[in-house]
Amino acid sequence: MKKYFQSLAYLVFIAVTFWAITKAIQVYEKPFSLYENPLVWIAVVALVLVILMKELLNIVAQKKAEDLILEKEGINPAEVDNWAWYKKLIKRWTKAKAIEEEDEIILDHNYDGIKELDNSLPPWWVYMFYATMIFGAVYLVRYHVLGADSQEMEYNKAMAEARRELDAFKATSKDAVIDAATVTALTSDSDLSRGKAVFNLNCAACHAPDGGGGIGPNLTDKYWVLGGGIKNVFTTITNGGRPGKGMVAWGKTLKPKDIQKVASYILKFQGTTPAKPKKAEGELYEEETSTETETVEQAKDSIQ
């Protein structure tokens, strides 16, 4: 009765765990990320452990049964060499001579008592050596005679293929991909209010809620450390400022769409007067398309 119960519990555990793991692999995006889904790993380890334990129990039980049979036949189980097969295998693969047989292979020179054995090369080593020779021949013919792709060529081909796929993807889904090359300034109220929310949450601490600046530069003036205009601002937010300045690369935390919105929102600060404007930093930036003829001096005057 107890035995049946054990087997049943075992089968149910295996079935349920296996089912749970398959389900998890189907459902989770990264089922084997230990950090995101530790339960999957716990289940896998538990499953393997339980199966191993069960096998171990089986082996022990079988061994006991065999010993009983041996005893019945009048043989002491302790005298049977269980490792005979293993010893034979080792002997076949090493061709090592036992110490008692060393007389057969000892060479007749003797240097101050140092003698030498004429051991044969161990077959495991010899076969590996032959394998490297075959590998070398195949390699030579494949890469130097038939001219197969080198690693560098393979890499370049894979990169070209990826670029082609990316271009095709960009061409078919225009709004899905926003990068520094395709980004445009948004103007709709909903986009700008999303931009404002992102700004107040992530950026206002350093740039002030009205863009007047603080730890970070003033965003309301026409002077930019890293370039003005939607493309430069998008790039700055995505990749961060100069090293050590405190402006991190937001591309790691914000989605390109949100970066586009917050960049569009920032550009709306242009020309406004913040409560506590920080001194202008960087260089005067003018849109390439603008026909304004304002000189640097005039611009400086208008800021002061």
Q: What are the residues binding ligand HEC (CB under 6 A)? A: 199, 202-203, 205-207, 215-217, 224-226, 233, 236-237, 241-242, 245-247, 250, 262, 266, 281-282
How far from the centroid of its chain's Cα atoms is residue 185's Cα?
Answer: 34
- Rounded to a whole number of angstroms, the minimum distance from the CB of residue 271 to ligand HEC is 15
Our CB check for ligand HEC shows the closer of 17 and 260 to be 260
The residue among 21 and 284 lying less far from ligand HEC, judged by its C-beta, is 284
| Closer residue to ligand HEC in complex, CB, 40/266 | 266
Considering the complex, what minimum distance in angstroms separates the CB of residue 297 from ligand HEC?
20
DSSP 230: H
Radius of gyration of the chain (CA): 37
Q: Cβ 138 to ligand HEC, closest distance in Å?
A: 54
User: What is the nearest approach in angstroms of ligand HEC to the Cβ of residue 142?
Assistant: 51
**Residue 47: CB minimum distance to ligand HEC, A:** 45
2-37: burial string, b at 16+ Cβ within 10 Å, e else: eeeeeeeeeeeeeeebeeebeebeeeeeebeeeeeb
- In degrees to the nearest 10, what's the CA dihedral of 106, 109, 113, 115? -30
SS3 of residue 223 by DSSP: strand
Provide, rounded to whole angstroms, the least separation between the CB of residue 246 and ligand HEC: 4
**31 vs 231 by CB, closer to ligand HEC:** 231
Are residues 260 and 234 in contact, defined by beta-carbon separation less than 8 angstroms? yes
Farthest CA pair distance, the chain: 113
**DSSP class of residue 164?**
H
With a CB cutoff of 8 Å and minimum separation 6, the contacts of 94 are: 122, 123, 124
Pick the closer one to ligand HEC by CB: 53 or 248.
248
Tokens found for residue 107: 């060479």
247 vs 284 by CB, closer to ligand HEC = 247
CA distance 13 to 46: 10
CB-nearer residue toward ligand HEC: 182 or 202: 202
**Residue 136 identity (one-letter amino acid):** G
Q: How far is the CB of 200 from ligand HEC (least distance, A)?
A: 9
Closest CA to 220 of 301, 280, 175: 280
